[in-house]
Chain A
Amino acid sequence: MTFIRQSLFIISLVSLFACAQDKTPINNDHSYELIVSELRNPWAFAFLPDHSMLINEKEGRIIHFKNGKKTEISDVPKVYNRGQGGLLDIKLHPNYKNNGWIYLTYASPEGQNRGGHTAVMRAKLKNNTLVEKEVLYKATPNTTRGQHFGSRIVFDDQGYLYFTIGERGNRDENPQDITRDGGKVYRLHDDGSVPLDNPFINDGNAKTAIYSYGHRNPQGMVIHPDTRAIWTHEHGPKGGDEINIIASGKNYGWPVITYGVNYIGTKITDETSRPGMEQPLHYWVPSIAPSGMEFISSDKYKGWKGNLLVGSLKFQYLDNCYIKDGKVIKEERLLDGLGRVRSINQGPDGYIYVGIENLGIVKLIKTK
C-alpha cells in the first residue's frame, strides 16, 4: 500500500512537471537567412580571417564553408560518436593570424578503458588537412555512458584557454571531487601546460587543470564583451539549467544544490543553496536544454545590444535574454520552432549566426 501511495506521489509529481510549460513569449520582429544548408548537427563553427567558416559536425567531420562551397577537412581526430559524444567545439587562437592554431574538443576513445571521455586538441590547417595535431588534455577514465561530455572552449584576454567537461553521467563521483575529471571548467595555457596560478595547483592529488567545479554539463561558454568575465550555462536535470559566471576555485554546487529534480520527478536534494557554493545568475524551470551562447555586441540589432543569446535544444528556439544589473530580466523566443539550436556566434560582420540541427546555419535578421 505504501508502495502504491509512493508511486502515486511520484506519478503526480511527474504529471505536475509534464504540465510545466515554457512560457517565454515569441518575438516576431525578426527573420533569418539560410547561409549553410544541409547540416546534420552543426555542433560548433568558427569564422576564419577570410570570413569563411569551419563547421564541426558532431559525427566527426569538419567542413570548410567558403563562397557557398563545402570542403571536407581530412585527418580529423577519431571521435567517440555515442550518445551526446562526438566532435564538439571549435575555436581559433586569438592570435590565429600569426600562429594558425585551431582548438577542438571532442569525445575521444583514446586511452586504456573502454568508452570515451572529452579531449582537447590543437592543430593547424594545411591544404584542407589537420596537421601538427597535439592532444592538450584528455579526461579519464573512459566510460561507455552516453551523457555529459560538455564541451565549449574560450580564450580570455590574457590568452588562457578555458574548456568545459560534463560529469559523464556520474554525478555522485565526479562533479564534487577535484581529483576526478568531469563536471569542471578547466584552464590551461594555450600550449596545454598548467598555469602555476591555477586554484588547485598545490592540492595533493587534484587535477591541476581544474579552474572551477560542481558543474553538470556546460555546453555554453562565452566572454562578456564589456566585463570580460567568463559566462557559462549548463544543463540541469529536469529543471535547473543554469547561467553562471565562472571564478577561480569556486564550487557551483552540482549535485549538492540544484533547482532541478530527477528525470522521473524524484528529488535529488532539498537544498538550492549552501554556504561555499555559488548561486546561478539565472536558472530555468522547466529546462530549455541550453546549447550555444553568445552576446550581441554589434550594432546590427537595435535594442538588443548586450543581450545574451542561448540556444534551446528542447523547445527549439533561440532564447533572447535581456540582462540588467547582472540579472536576466526578460526572455523572448527567436527563430521559434526552427529546430534544435546547437551553436551561436556573432560573425565578423556583426550578424548573429545560429547552427541548427538538421537544418544548417542561419543568419539572424532584425526586421523592426
Chain B
Amino acid sequence: MRKISVAIVAIVAILILVSCNSSEKKTNTSEEKEKTKLEASMARGKNIYTNFCISCHLPNGKGLPKVFPPLAKSDYLKNNRLGSIRSIKYGQSGEIIVNGQTYNGVMAPLGLNDEEIADVMNYITNSWGNYNAKLITVKEVSAIEE
C-alpha cells in the first residue's frame, strides 16, 4: 500500500512537472503543434472514458482482475495498437492475454464514432503511466476494418 502511494505521488509529481513545462510557451514547432493536438484529443478522450469506459476499467485504468483487463501499463494496449482500436470500434471477444493474465470476456461495441475512438485511444495510451509517442488520428481509426 505504501509503495503504491509513493509511486503514485511520484507520478503525480512528474505530472505536475510535466504540466509546468508545457505551460512555458516556446517556439511554435510542429512538435508542439502535435502536442497541443494530443492534449486536446486527450481532454476529449477523458470525457469519453468517463462516459463509456470507467465503470468497468475504473478511474485508475486497472480494471478488475480476471474480469476486465487493465489499461494502465497494459502490454496488450502497448503492443496491439490496431487491435485495441478494432476492439473499441467493433467490440472484443475471445481470449486475450494482458500482462500475463488470460481474459475471456466480451466487450460490446460502444457505438462511438471514429473521432471519439481516436480521442479515447489517445487518452488511454497516455494515462496511468502509459506513453504513446504517435498521435492516433481519425484517419487511422477510419481505416481499420472488422
- Which residues of A are at the interface with B, using a C-beta cutoff of 8 A? 3-4, 7-8, 11-12, 14-15, 18, 40-41, 58-59, 80-83, 85, 145-147, 169, 263-265, 289, 316, 357-358
Collect the chain A residues with CB atoms within 8 Å of residue B129's CB. none
Closest Cβ neighbor of A357 among chain B residues: B106
Q: How far is the CA of A7 from the CA of B15 in the complex (A)?
A: 12
Q: Is A83 a contact partner of B51 (Cβ separation < 8 A)? A: yes
Q: How far is the CA of A89 from the CA of B58 in the complex (A)?
A: 27
Collect the chain A residues with CB atoms within 8 Å of residue B50's CB. 263
With known contacts A82-B112, A83-B111, A263-B58, A12–B106 Cβ distance under 8 A: no
With known contacts A3-B16, A263-B54, A263-B55, A146–B111 Cβ distance under 8 A: yes
**0/1 string, B1-36, CB within 8 A of A gives 1:** 100110011001100100000000000000000000
Closest Cβ neighbor of B59 among chain A residues: A264
Q: Is B111 a contact partner of A14 (Cβ separation < 8 A)? A: no
**A-facing residues in B41-73 (Cβ within 8 Å):** 50-52, 54-55, 58-60, 62, 67
**What are 13 A-B interface contacts by the 8 Å CB criterion?**
A3-B16, A4-B9, A7-B9, A15-B1, A18-B58, A81-B109, A82-B110, A83-B51, A85-B111, A146-B110, A263-B58, A358-B93, A358-B105
Q: How far is the CA of A9 from the CA of B5 in the complex (A)?
A: 10
Contact of B51 among A11, A41, A147 (CB under 8 A): A147
Collect the chain B residues with CB atoms within 8 Å of residue A264's CB. 59
**0/1 string, B82-99, CB within 8 A of A gives 1:** 000000000001000000
Q: Is A169 a contact partner of B51 (Cβ separation < 8 A)? A: yes
Q: How far is the CA of A308 from the CA of B101 in the complex (A)?
A: 36
Q: Is A83 a contact partner of B93 (Cβ separation < 8 A)? A: no
Q: How far is the CA of A83 from the CA of B52 in the complex (A)?
A: 6
Collect the chain A residues with CB atoms within 8 Å of residue B144's CB. none
**Interface assignment of B138: CB less than 8 Å from any CB of chain A:** no
Contact of A263 among B4, B59, B62, B112 (CB under 8 A): B59
Contact of A40 among B5, B12, B16, B108 (CB under 8 A): B108
Collect the chain B residues with CB atoms within 8 Å of residue A8's CB. 5, 8-9
Q: Is A14 a contact partner of B59 (Cβ separation < 8 A)? A: yes
Q: How far is the CB of A353 from chain B (nearest CB, A)?
A: 21
Collect the chain A residues with CB atoms within 8 Å of residue B54's CB. 263
Contact of B5 among A12, A58, A265 (CB under 8 A): A12
Q: How far is the CA of A189 from the CA of B5 in the complex (A)?
A: 56
Q: Is B4 a contact partner of A15 (Cβ separation < 8 A)? A: yes
Q: How far is the CB of B89 from chain A (nearest CB, A)?
A: 13
Q: How far is the CB of A145 from chain B (nearest CB, A)?
A: 6
> 5 closest pairs, A vs B, by CB?
A82-B111, A264-B59, A358-B106, A146-B52, A146-B51
Collect the chain A residues with CB atoms within 8 Å of residue B13's CB. 4
Collect the chain B residues with CB atoms within 8 Å of residue A4's CB. 9, 12-13
Collect the chain B residues with CB atoms within 8 Å of residue A12's CB. 5
**A-facing residues in B78-136 (Cβ within 8 Å):** 93, 105-106, 108-112
Q: Is A145 a contact partner of B93 (Cβ separation < 8 A)? A: no
Closest Cβ neighbor of B54 among chain A residues: A263
Closest Cβ neighbor of B111 among chain A residues: A82
Q: Is B12 a contact partner of A7 (Cβ separation < 8 A)? A: yes
Collect the chain B residues with CB atoms within 8 Å of residue A40's CB. 106, 108
Q: How far is the CA of A115 from the CA of B134 in the complex (A)?
A: 31
Q: How far is the CA of A72 from the CA of B129 in the complex (A)?
A: 46
Collect the chain B residues with CB atoms within 8 Å of residue A15's CB. 1, 4
Q: How far is the CA of A59 from the CA of B110 in the complex (A)?
A: 10
